[in-house]
Structure formats: C-alpha cells, structure tokens
Amino acid sequence: MRCKAVVVLPALVSLLLSPMAHGSEVWWERSDEQYPFDLSKRRILIVVGDDFDFQEATVTRDLWKRWGATVDIAGTAPQLTGHLWKQVAGRWDRSETRTLKMDLLLADLTAAGYDAVFFPGGGSPKNLLDKEPDRLKALVREANAKGVLLAAICHGPQVLAACDVVRGRRVTAHPEVAPALQLAGGVFETAVTVTDGNLVTGNWPYFESFAVAVAERLLFPKGGGPSEQSLFVTNPVLRAIKERRSVRSFIEREVEPATVQLLLRAATWAPSANNDQPWRFVVVRKRETKDAVREAVSGRLRVAFEKAGVPVELQNSYWAAVFSAPVHIFAFAAAGKAEEDAGLVAVQALWEAHGVAAACQNLLLAAHAQDLGGVWLGAPLAAEEDIKRLLGAPRGVRLIAVLAIGYPASRPLPPVRRPVSEVAFDEAWERR
C-alpha cells in the first residue's frame, strides 16, 4: 500500500459498488498462524526518528517479543511521536498520533550485541538522516560489517540506500523509495518481503510477513523456515489461489486464441446446480466494441463517482486502464429449465449466478497459471442493458461479470485478508 495519504481509485470503486465495503478497516495484515519461533537468544534494535509509522514499529516489535526476543527501541530523542493510518471515506488518514518512550538514544548506540537492526518507515528515515546522519551511517555500516541483519520496511530502506549497503542486493520498499535504492545500486523488486543475505526489506502493511521474514533469517539462515513449508507454498493449487491478483493494467500483447480457449475450457469445469451449466461467454477483442462498452459503463457511473469526490480525469484513467486489456470476456447466466416447484423458482436465479461465478473464478485461476493477469469487473453491471444491446445478447440472460484478461504491466501486491477466526464460526454464528 502506501505511507502517504492518497486516493486509491480501485478502493473507491469498491466503496461505491459494494455496501459491504463501507466502514471496513481491513488494511493491516493479520492471520491466525502460530509460528514456532524461539527468539529468546536474539536481540533486536529498532531505530526511529520523529513521525515514524507507529504500527510498523510496534506491531513488528510485539511479534518479535511474543516469540521471545529482547527488543530495544532507540531514537533521536527520549520520546518520539508516530502516526497511525486509517481509512476515512476511502482515503488514507494519518492524523492520529501516538508517542513512544525510547529505551536508548541513537547518539549512545553501537551495533554490538544485536542480531538485527530495524528501520520503520513514515517520516522517520528522513528525520534520522537530517538529524543524525553521521551517527546513523556509522551504526549501519558497523552492523553490516559484522553481518548483523539489517531490516527495513516501506520508506525505511531509504536509510539503507543512504548508507550504501544495498549495492548489488535485491530489495523492496514503497515505490517512492525505488529510485533512491536503484541509484544506490540496489535491485528493486515489487514484493511483500525480500531477503538477500543480511538484508530483509518489506512493504506496508505486511507487518506479520515482514516480522516472520526477519525471524526466519535469524533462525534459518540457510532457508527452510516454517513459511517455506506452508502448503500455500508447496501445493500448486493452493499457491495459485493465494498468488492470483486482480490486475488492472496490461501491456500491448495479444492473447493467443488457443490460450483463450484453454481459459474457457477451465471455466466450464466449474460446478453448477443440477449440472445446468448456465454460463455463456462472449469474448470481445475488437477495440471499437470495448470502447463502446467503456463509454456506456463510465457514463452510467460518472455521477455516482463525482458525488463520491472522484475527479473525472481519475475515472477516465481507471476505465482506460481496465479496458486496455486485449481480451474482455462477458460472463452471462442463461436461464435453465423452469422449476415446477414454486418454492424453487425464487432461488433458481441464484443457482445460475452461483454457477457462473464459480466458472469465472476457474477462468481467473487458469489465467494466472498461464502467466496472464485478469480482473473481475462488477461495475459494468450498471450498464447491463447497454452491454446486452451492444453484444446482441438475447432477452432472459443476465450479465454476471466482465473479466479483463491480458499480460500484466505489473503484478500488484496482495490485498490483506481478515483472519479466518473473524469470518468462520463453529456450529453457530459467532461461536469461536
């Protein structure tokens, strides 16, 4: 995600089109994983400047302490202020602050006795480099020379770049930091975390993944830690489910007809009620058709977006990106044989929609397996009648989704998920 307050257009799309999204605070990575780490013999130093990201510093600290580590926090003053992030009406807000008492002062520090030194992001890196550049660089270079693990998240890798310890090393960070890392000789990657030798870098808000990466580098320096043994890593089906992303920008490269046919075959292996197979697909490649659909969809939603404060130019750039995909697959539900039982007629439409939805998920997973990117678009439902007219769809069929498919311009980082304990219950609602 990001460490500065910006409008996230895809999030606003969800806010407008899904009532479930309103009031959601699902932005911070959490899971129910119980990691068998023993850090009782490890000492970790967290170094912060003013305006540090409070959650990056304290969530990781608490995880390491839970696993037994001794953790000290050092800063440029005895007490420093950090900011907290939250979403307000689809926008990122950092107005809430917290103060944190330091265990040590940066001026008194040495890397001796520590197994890892960690730099959170926010405004902290700039503050550190402005106030204590010489002391900071001496600390980092001393740690690096001794093989101490150097960890940084989000804007934190700014410190590593300024201290000239990333040359020839694989690193990740907030995109704003990428130029500084590359200028310092680092090999930038877009990833949740990257481990290269004694460097562990990560992205916001994947605090748990970052804390795990640091712990595993300390305890399993040759690899083979618990995260690498997860079935979501070793099992190809589970790995594909976890790694598939919604891709909204594409390169100019056609998708071969044979590949599209493969995706459609995968879609047809979805389950459906009574094996009715209600899915019907219209594959669109012609630019003029896609442009007409885009105009219909954007026209129907323009007023709603404007009321939500989304500028027209941002709307246009969003639609231009998702409709730049070389292939769009329009997924319809065709009515099956009418049920004789009046009680079943009411739910038959739901059965048909369920079947098409399952087919769409199959198709997106198959696209991921073919190194393609795709996104499930619900917004076009606002222009269903326009789309049916443009595509010559018969009366009685219902548009369920539009899937944009192509070769991705980039692979986005994963959205965070609620832990299973918040969404699944035993035997009865809310029974843990």
Helix (H, G, I), strand (E, B) or coil at 350: helix
Cβ burial 24-53 (10 Å sphere, 16+ → b, else e): eeebbbbeeeebebebeebebbbbbbbbbb
Q: Which two tokens stand for residue 202?
A: 């990560």
From residue 64, give the alpha-carbon distance in Å to each of 41, 80, 157, 323, 370.
12, 21, 20, 44, 38
Cis peptide leading into residue 205 (ω within 30°): yes
Q: What is the pLDDT of residue 4?
A: 34
Instruction: Please report how the helices 9-17 and 287-307 are oriented relative to each other, as an axis angle in degrees rounded to 10.
Output: 80
Q: 3-class DSSP state for residue 99?
A: strand
**What is the pTM (predicted TM-score) of this model?**
0.87
DSSP secondary structure letter of residue 374:
E
- Range(s) within the chain of domains with CATH label 3.40.50.880: 9-238
Helix (H, G, I), strand (E, B) or coil at 119: strand
Cβ count near 373 (within 10 Å): 25
Length of the chain: 432
Task: Give me the pLDDT at residue 176, please.
Answer: 95
Strand 97-101 vs strand 79-83: parallel, antiparallel, or unpaired?
Answer: antiparallel
- Strand (E) or helix (H) holding 188: strand 187-188
The CATH architecture that domain 246-406 belongs to is 3-Layer(aba) Sandwich (3.40)
The CATH 3.40.109.10 domain(s) of the chain lie at: 246-406
For 123-182, what is the HEC assignment? CHHHHHHHHCHHHHHHHHHHHHHCCCEEEEECCCHHHHHHCCCCCCCEECCCHHHHHHHH
Task: Find all residues with CB under 8 Å of 417, minimum gap 6, and list them.
Answer: 26, 31
CA–CA separation, 101 vs 107, rounded Å? 16
For the record, the structure tokens of 394 come out as 């018969």
Instruction: State the pLDDT at residue 191.
Output: 95
Please tell me the CATH code under which domain 9-238 is placed.
3.40.50.880
Closest CA to 216 of 234, 228, 201: 228
Is residue 354 within 8 A of residue 273, CB to CB? The reply is yes
Q: Are 81 and 48 in contact (CB under 8 A)?
A: no
- Rounded CA gap, 340 and 348, in Å? 11
Give me the pLDDT at residue 2, please: 38
Closest listed residue to residue 322, CA positions, set 99, 114, 10, 7: 10
- pLDDT tens for each residue of the chain, 432 residues long: 334 322 334 444 443 433 333 334 567 888 888 899 999 999 999 999 999 999 999 999 999 999 999 999 999 999 999 999 887 766 788 889 999 999 999 988 888 899 999 999 999 999 999 999 999 999 999 999 999 999 999 999 999 999 999 999 999 999 999 999 999 999 999 999 999 999 999 999 999 999 999 999 999 999 999 999 999 999 999 999 999 999 999 999 999 999 999 999 999 999 999 899 999 999 999 999 999 999 999 999 998 888 888 888 999 999 999 999 999 999 999 987 665 566 676 688 899 999 999 999 999 999 999 999 999 999 999 999 999 999 999 998 999 999 999 999 988 898 888 899 888 999 999 776
